[in-house]
Amino acid sequence: MATNQTPYSALTQRLSELTTLDEIEGLLHWDQEVTMPPGAAEARGRQVSVLGVLRHERATSDTLGSLIRQLEGDRTLVPEQQANVREARRAFDRAQGIPPDLVRQWGEATVMAHGAWVKARTASDFQLFAPHLERLVALARARAAAIDPNRPAYDVLIDAYEPGMTMERLDGIFSELRDFLVPFLAKIRAKPQPDTTCLHGEVSQPDQERVAREMAEALGFDFAHGRMDTAVHPFCGGAGATDVRITTRYRTDRFQQSLLAVVHETGHAMYEQGRDRNLADQPVSMARSMGVHESQSLLWETQVARSEAFWRGRLPWLQKQYPFLQAVSLPQFMSALNAVDFTNAIRVNADEVNYPLHVILRYELERDLLNGDLAVADLPEAWNQRSEAWLAIVPASDAEGVLQDIHWSMGAFGYFPSYTLGALYAAQLFGAAQQAHPDLNDQLTAGDFSSLRSWLRQHVHQPGSRWETDELLRRATGSALDCSWFIRHIEQRYRPMYGMV
């Protein structure tokens, strides 16, 4: 610690260093997915590993721990500084609590499990993956106990993605949601299904890239502080708030998939680009949670770019870009774009109405695995039962069922709920923005996204991690998480579309 430095500035310097290492790690990851030559994979693994070890040393240092302890009692700190200390404490406890030997075992087990999962999925044989998953569940329990032995393991794991969220609360939210969605889907299924083939024209990748870039820029993606590239998986990454990089992939016969994926990643990107620049290297400025991050991508994707208000203004523009759309009417376009798909068993391809059921299914299974209420051996059966009951689909194989997602092979237990929490937050935030700007739909039609952007910046991006998620929502929308906003949104969009008014 330099002389004349206050404890708080000593803390911010150390936290800034950790953020900087995370930014570098972000660049290594982006490069690996986008630009790295194939033969560099082994070296990249070494680079990520060395950086991770250095980061871990610094994230768990005694000096950092005692600075945090010292500042936790310091009532001279302003609220923003107190929040920064609180977030530093949360990260420190999670990093420092896990003994090095467990860190090592976890690292080895996830590498093995991921390899086994790839093989198992290719062979569509869950048994190849099962022993690895058993080991990961056991190690995840040990990790959770090391961080906090007084709380249920799964609650401790959720905390990594959605701080403060608990099984008890998720059980309630997800029951309410499932109890609405399952019968609602049954009603939709009984109606005539829209024709989606009007969207199936062929569009070259360069044409799609041009349109995607223009769309991202129109929504507010800042290309001076970001990039857009092609990669196998769409993601939002990069090297900090001034260097936000999104990717997408292109299917030449399904332009709408890439276009909506770009809008989705643009939502993530604008959250990062909109963070408080003066504090961008401090935890207090960071995204509140995975769920809140997903709320920003889903708000732009589903609330905006799947809305009729948006396409009333944009469709003529898109028809100029893609002439085969010229004969498509706005109602036809909207029905095709938002059609509910009853033939799909895969989460990442799911529509907005089915998606939460995919998530709730995974949530219940991983919750039960971690609680010891479900044996790994019984997982495929439990998966297929729920899939049949809720989605009315029995997966054709393990590959299309229990093995479809990468998450468990990485040990990311507790991650799945974020997707649906994000959808709920998105509906609630967009509803509040509409209340604040009663003409918001007209603005979307006019292609003017500035009010919405400003509202999000003020209520979500700039606050970052200043408040816990419920407090953030209360300040932005007047109440804590409330899934009636999402249910109302689904009803308002899909009842008229399926003649259920």
Active site residues: 265
Residue 435 buriedness (CB in 10 A; 0-12 / 13-18 / 19+): exposed
Residue 235 beta carbon to a copy of itself: minimum distance, rounded to whole angstroms: 16
Q: Which helix (H) or strand (E) holds 456?
A: helix 450-456
Beta strand spans in 164-323 (E): 226-230, 236-238, 244-248
Q: How many H-runs (helices) and E-runs (strands) does the chain carry? A: 20, 3
Strand order in the sheet with 226-230: 226-230, 244-248, 236-238
Mask of contacts with a copy of itself, 19-48, x by CB under 8 A?
-xx-xx--xx--x---xxxxxx-xxx-xx-
Site for a copy of itself in 164-183 (CB under 8 A): none
Residue 115 beta carbon to a copy of itself: minimum distance, rounded to whole angstroms: 21
Mask of contacts with a copy of itself, 53-92, x by CB under 8 A?
-x--------------------------------------
Count, residues near a copy of itself per rule CB under 8 A: 36
| Rounded distance between C-alpha atoms, residue 252 and residue 204, angstroms | 6
Query: Among residues 47 and 319, whose Cβ is nearest to a copy of itself?
Result: 47
- 224 sits near a copy of itself (criterion: CB under 8 A): yes
Mask of contacts with a copy of itself, 408-447, x by CB under 8 A?
----------------------------------------
Contact partners, residue 391, CB within 8 Å, separation at least 6: 345, 354, 357, 358, 361
Residue 176 is encoded by which pair of tokens? Answer: 């309410």
| Rounded distance between C-alpha atoms, residue 309 and residue 240, angstroms | 33
φ, ψ of residue 350 to 5 degrees: the values are: -70, 150
Instruction: Give the length of the chain.
Output: 501
Beta strand spans in 240-389 (E): 244-248
- Which of 17, 148, 400, 491 forms a contact with a copy of itself (CB under 8 A)? 17
Query: Among residues 46 and 75, whose Cβ is nearest to a copy of itself?
Result: 46
Residue 227 beta carbon to a copy of itself: minimum distance, rounded to whole angstroms: 6
Residue 34 beta carbon to a copy of itself: minimum distance, rounded to whole angstroms: 8
- 230 sits near a copy of itself (criterion: CB under 8 A): no
Task: List interacting residues with a copy of itself (CB under 8 A).
Answer: 16-17, 20-21, 23-24, 27-28, 31, 35-40, 42-44, 46-47, 50-51, 54, 222-227, 239-243, 280-281
